């Protein structure tokens, strides 16, 4: 059974600082997703990572995937208040299918001035 | 495009009542999904569909039913509502062909359901 663990679950950062959120998963998978959720809102897709060594960047966020270590990271560079949100990773539990995604519990990020 | 739409936005049910949560997408996506999100938790997949007429169970299907008669619509039926079904329900859709490019999931705004 695929398990997905994120850490930390809560993260309080100062503006301008860098930090990394980690997403570990327990069995082999061929795709990993990162999402952002603002309080009381729906989810917004950030990145889809498909292969070992994949790296994607959007603004101050950079996601990477190491399939051998079963680890994805979401790196935040020079955090700003607008990045405050909850970030989820999700892993596909079936190869060749987008059907069954298993989500982590989320990392609640708070960026303070 | 409206994207993924869900109705209603909020609903209060009494124990034992039934209801249908509606979900529609206008992006011609083949995959559609129903998730539930409990407070402070990630999403758990209830059911998903890979196309009209084809559905499959996710992690937490008990107490729910789905059907997919068209590409656009994917309603979720709750039979005999229980307090444990109090949650926020999200519908999502995506386009995916095995061996082809993977596209992102688009989520609806959610339905907040309380069962008392």
Q: According to DSSP H, which parts of A1-113 are helical? A: none
B56, A96: Cβ pair inside 8 Å? no
SS3 B56: strand
Token reading at B105:
């999931």
pLDDT, position B100: 63
A88, B42: Cβ pair inside 8 Å? yes
Ranges of beta strands (E only) in chain A are: 4-7, 10-14, 19-25, 32-37, 43-49, 55-58, 61-66, 71-76, 85-92, 101-103, 107-112
pLDDT, position B1: 74
Residues of chain A with pLDDT under 70: 94-99
Residue B105, chain A, CB below 8 Å: the answer is yes
Residue in A31, A43, A49 to test binding to B, most B beta-carbons within 10 Å = A43
Token reading at A25:
């998963």
Token reading at B72:
């656009």
How many angstroms separate the CA atoms of B88 and A34, rounded?
A: 20
Distance, first Cα to last Cα, chain B: 36
Closest by Cβ to A42, choosing from B33, B45, B109: B109
pLDDT, position A29: 83
Output the tens digit of pLDDT for each of chain B's 116 residues. 779 999 999 999 999 999 999 999 999 999 999 999 998 888 999 999 999 999 999 889 999 999 999 999 999 999 999 999 999 999 999 987 766 666 688 999 999 999 99
The conformation of residue B93, written as its DSSP 8-state character, comes to: E
Residue A36, chain B, CB below 8 Å: the answer is no
Residues of chain A contacting B44 with CB distance shorter than 8 Å: 103
How many angstroms separate the CA atoms of A72 and A33, rounded?
A: 9
Residue B112, chain A, CB below 8 Å: the answer is no
Residue A45, chain B, CB below 8 Å: the answer is yes
How many angstroms separate the CA atoms of B92 and B80, rounded?
A: 24
How many angstroms separate the CA atoms of A72 and A64, rounded?
A: 6
Q: Are B24 and B32 in contact (CB under 8 A)?
A: no
pLDDT, position B99: 66
- What is the H or E stretch that residue B50 is in? strand B43-51
Q: Å from A55 to nearest chain B CA?
A: 15
Q: Are B32 and B72 in contact (CB under 8 A)?
A: no
Residues of chain A contacting B31 with CB distance shorter than 8 Å: 98-99
User: Average pLDDT of chain A?
Assistant: 91
How many angstroms separate the CA atoms of A21 and A8, rounded?
A: 7
pLDDT, position A31: 84
How many angstroms separate the CA atoms of A89 and A5, rounded?
A: 9
Q: How far is residue B63 CA from its own chain's centroid?
A: 13
Cβ neighbours of A2 (radius 10 Å):
17
Residue A99, chain B, CB below 8 Å: the answer is yes
pLDDT, position B39: 84
A90, B43: Cβ pair inside 8 Å? yes
Token reading at A109:
């990020």
A41-59 tens-digit pLDDT: 999 999 999 888 889 999 9
pLDDT, position A50: 84
Q: How far is residue B77 CA from its own chain's centroid?
A: 9
pLDDT, position B38: 93
């Amino acid at each position: 059974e695929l398990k997905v663990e994120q850490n930390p679950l809560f993260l309080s950062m100062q503006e301008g600082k860098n930090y990394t959120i980690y997403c570990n998963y327990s069995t082999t998978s061929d795709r990993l997703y990162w999402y952002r959720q603002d309080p009381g809102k729906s989810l917004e897709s950030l990145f889809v990572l498909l292969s070992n060594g994949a790296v994607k960047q959007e603004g101050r966020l950079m996601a990477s995937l190491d399939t051998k270590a079963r680890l994805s990271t979401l790196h935040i560079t020079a955090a700003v208040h607008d990045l405050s949100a909850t970030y989820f990773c999700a892993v596909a539990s079936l190869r060749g299918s987008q059907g069954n995604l298993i989500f982590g519990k989320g990392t609640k990020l708070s960026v303070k001035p | 495009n409206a994207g993924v739409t869900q109705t209603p936005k909020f609903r209060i049910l009494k124990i034992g009542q039934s209801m249908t949560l509606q979900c529609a997408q206008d992006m011609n996506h083949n995959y559609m999904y129903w998730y539930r999100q409990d407070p402070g938790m990630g999403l758990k997949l209830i059911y998903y569909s890979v196309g009209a007429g084809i559905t499959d169970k996710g992690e937490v299907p008990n107490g729910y039913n789905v059907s997919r008669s068209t590409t656009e619509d994917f309603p979720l039926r709750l039979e005999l509502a229980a307090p444990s079904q109090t949650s926020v329900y999200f519908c999502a859709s995506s386009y995916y062909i095995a061996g082809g490019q993977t596209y992102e999931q688009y989520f609806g705004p959610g339905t907040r359901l309380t069962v008392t």
